[in-house]
Amino acid sequence: MENLAPLHTFGIAAKAKKVEKITALEQLMPIWQQCRQADIPVLFLGQGSNVLFIEDFNGTVLLNRLKGIEHRQDDDFHYLHVAGGENWHELVCWTLDHHIGGLENMALIPGCAGSAPIQNIGAYGVEFKDFCDYVEMLDLNNGEQFRLNNAQCGFGYRESVFKHQYRDGYLITAVGLKLRKHWRPVLKYGSLANFDADKVSPQQIFAEVCAVRNSKLPAPEQFGNAGSFFKNPVVSAADFNLLQQEYPTIPNFPQADGTVKLAAGWLIDQCGLKGYQIGGAAVHQQQALVLINRHNASASDVIELAHHIRQCVAIKFNVYLQPEVRFIGAAGEVDSEKTIM
C-alpha cells in the first residue's frame, strides 16, 4: 500500500494499492489494460486539490503529469494547447508573462489544467467555459483520441459531461483555450468592483485576486484543505424572495435562467460556524466555505462536520448545501451529497 496523504491537499490519511506517474500517453494503455484484466479500480489524480479520500483506495492511482504549452495566434485571438498535467495557477502566470489577458480572475485556483473542465472551475465572475475552445480526450477502452468542442462539454455551474458519460474510462489529456486579444476586464465581484475598467490591467486584477485569496484561504501546508468545500446553492426566484424578506442583506447573484445563486460561505457564517470543530476537522476562521484538516483529521471527522453544516444551514434557511469536493471511496468516486446526509 502507498501513502496518499502527500498527493492530495486535504492531507487526510489514506492509502492506495499502487501509485503511478504518467508523463507520456504511451504509458497509459498498458497500465489501464492490466488493471482492467485484473478488475482493479483506477483513479486519475491531478494535484488532488478537490478530493476527499473517505477510505483507502483499493486500486491504482494514476498521477497526470503530462506537460507542455503550445501557443499560436491570429488577428483576434490567442490559442493555447495545454497538456492536462500543467499546474493551473502556473498557466495563469504564463499567460500574463506572455501578455495574454483573460485568466487573471482565476489565479490561485489549485489543481491542474486537465481537472479544470471537470468542475468548470471559476472565480470572480469568470469560468473555464468562457475560454474553452476544446477538450482533448483519450478513450482508454480503445486507445482513440478525440476532441469535444465547448458546446459538447455540457458546462454548467461546477458541472460538465466529464462528471457523467465521460467519467469512467476516459482521460482528459489536454485543453484548448481561446483568449481574445481585445481584452475586457471582469470586475463584478468583491473588491474588483473598485477598479476602473478603462484603466485596470490584467496584472492588477491578478495581484488583487491573489491578495484576497491569500488573506482568506489557508495554504495546504498550513492546514490541509480542498478549497471551497460546498457549491454555492442556486434557488428559485420565489424561494429567494422569501429569504430576502427575512434576510435583507443576503448576498445574491441572479442567473440568466431566472434562478438566484447564493453565497454558501455567508449562509454557513450566519449559522455561527466559523471555527466550529469536530475531531480534527474545522470550519476555517477566515472563510466559512473552507473546511480544514486542523489536526490529524480523519475522513469521518470531515464527513461529520459537513453533515452538521448542511443540517444547520437547512434548518435556518431551508437550503441544502451540496459538496463541491469529490469523495473517493474504495472503488472510486461516490455520491458526496448522500454521504453527508
Q: How far apart are CA 91 and CA 6, in angstroms?
A: 22
Tell me the catalytic residues: 158, 228, 324
- Give the burial string for 108-120 (b: 16+ CB within 10 Å, else e): bbbbbbbbbbbbb
DSSP-derived pairing of the beta strands 144-149 and 326-328? unpaired
Q: How far apart are CA 337 and CA 158, in angstroms?
A: 14
Mapped onto helix, strand or coil, the DSSP state of residue 192 is helix
And the C-alpha cell for 41? Answer: 479500480
Contact 54, 306 (CB under 8 A): no
CB neighbours of residue 245 within 10 Å: 9
Strand order in the sheet with 2-3: 2-3, 15-22, 57-64, 42-45
Q: How far apart are CA 56 and CA 41, in angstroms?
A: 12
